[in-house]
Amino acid sequence: MSSPASPSVSIPIPQNRVVLGVGTVSVDFLAAVTSYPNPDDKIRTTSLKIQGGGNVGNALTSAARLGLTARIISKVANDSQGRSILEELEADGVDTSFLVVSEGGISPFTYVIVDNKTHTRTCIHTPGSPPMVPDDLSRSSLLSALDGARIVYFDARLYETALVVAQEATRQNIPVLVDAERKREGLDDLLTFANYVVCSAKFPQEWTEAPSIPSALVSMLLRLPKLRFVIVTLGENGCIMLERITNEIPDQLEEFEVDSLLEVIKGRKDKKINIPTSVSSPVAKLRAEGIGTVCGRLLLGTAEKIPESEIVDTTGAGDAFIGAVLYGIMIFISFPALCANMPPEKLLPFSAQVAAGCCRALGARSGLPHRTDPCLASFLQ
């Protein structure tokens, strides 16, 4: 970090900054309406947008705009929608060399109803056909896709192919981030390879059956010994991270009950600040009653307080957040001696700021900020 008297210096972009993403891409048909329709209603849109979508496509677009070199493994059909998916990804600098194009079938697409009144979105997804299978990715293509990759991201779709890629990435000691949006077929197997997990608000308790989010995060770290951290995103309520710490002597650490500790941290939030911030606990033994104890830190990240008039659409906000997390992890991997430039205390508000930009435009990608966006400047110095 520069001293107050020194000119600010931007965090350098790593020379080797390849992130590989595996999962779905789609075309999103976004229809904004004044309020969600009742059954058998006939209503008109207030605005309409056709844009690329899909978790991995959105997250990689976010990462590419932040300066990472993004590659994607997915599948589309050789139809007009598939061609538009490729063109849009390539326009944002995403490498589509390993994206499989089938001669027949249809590309994935999603109808998205955006409720202007409640700022919610309802998604109706149609998977592509034929679906991607491991045989679609040759051994040589797999190795080429992983060549030089510093991290691999999975949205937990296309799970059979994802498991093949995860196994090889682990064999090559390439870190793995998994997006645990909800329970899916094959997700349990994929999580065993994960070094980092970002999950939705409901997932931790649904997966662990723990009584609270903090205790569920403790349970996840105990069940998944490779996990370095897990983040649960909470929309306008920010996010919670549980970071595992392994270089401390447990006997010398104070012990806290994790739910009580979260309440203490919440009390330290500065509610007057509109931009994203974070507060953290000390390194400690974190106990979840009836579950167990882990050594680590609990962090609470806040979301930007976006004026009501500026909120357009929350579609893809979680994907934008993950793209920023991938950027932060890349900085840590590439510059471990300079890790103070993007510690968790900065990673969480930085990611929240990127997600906030997404919410100010219709669709998952229209509002994604570039690295040069002034709103990100303070986080990148």
Span 8-61, pLDDT tens digits? 557 777 788 999 999 999 999 999 999 999 999 999 999 999 999 999 999 999
Residue 170 lies in a domain: yes
- Distance CA(50)–CA(203), nearest Å, equals 29
5 — pLDDT class (breaks 50, 70, 90)? very low
Residue 12 lies in a domain: no
E strand segments, 54-172: 69-73, 75-77, 100-102, 109-115, 120-126, 149-154
Q: How many domains does the chain have?
A: 1
User: Is residue 77 within 8 Å of 107, Cβ to Cβ?
Assistant: yes
Indicate whether 146 pLDDT > 90.
Answer: yes
More confident residue, 87 or 333: 87
- Distance CA(236)–CA(356), nearest Å, equals 9
Residue 64 lies in a domain: yes
Segment 257-276 shows an average pLDDT of 93
Within 55-138, where are the H helices? Answer: 55-65, 80-91
Residue 9 lies in a domain: no
Residue 5 lies in a domain: no
The SS3 assignment for 81 reads helix
Which CATH number covers residue 167? 3.40.1190.20
- Percent of residues, the chain, with pLDDT higher than 90: 86
Q: Which pLDDT score, from 0 to 100, does residue 341 have?
A: 62
- Structural domain boundaries, residue 305: 18-22+55-108+131-379
Indicate whether 211 pLDDT > 80.
Answer: yes
The helix, strand and coil proportions of the chain, stated in percent and rounded to the nearest 5, come to 35, 25, 40
Tens digit of pLDDT for each residue in 343-374? 899 999 999 999 999 999 999 999 999 999 99
* Residue 345 tokens, joined: 């205390």
3 — pLDDT class (breaks 50, 70, 90)? very low
Residue 357 lies in a domain: yes
337 — pLDDT class (breaks 50, 70, 90)? low
Residue 39 lies in a domain: no
Tens digit of pLDDT for each residue in 282-332? 999 999 999 999 999 999 999 999 998 999 999 999 999 999 999 999 988
Residue 325 lies in a domain: yes
115 — pLDDT class (breaks 50, 70, 90)? very high
DSSP 280-349: EPPSEEEEETTTEEEEEEEEEEPPP---GGG----TTHHHHHHHHHHHHHHHHHH-GGGGGGS-HHHHHH
Computed over every residue of the chain, the mean pLDDT equals: 92
Segment 234-254 shows an average pLDDT of 90
More confident residue, 87 or 104: 87
Nearest one of 364, 349, 352 to 60, comparing CA atoms:
364
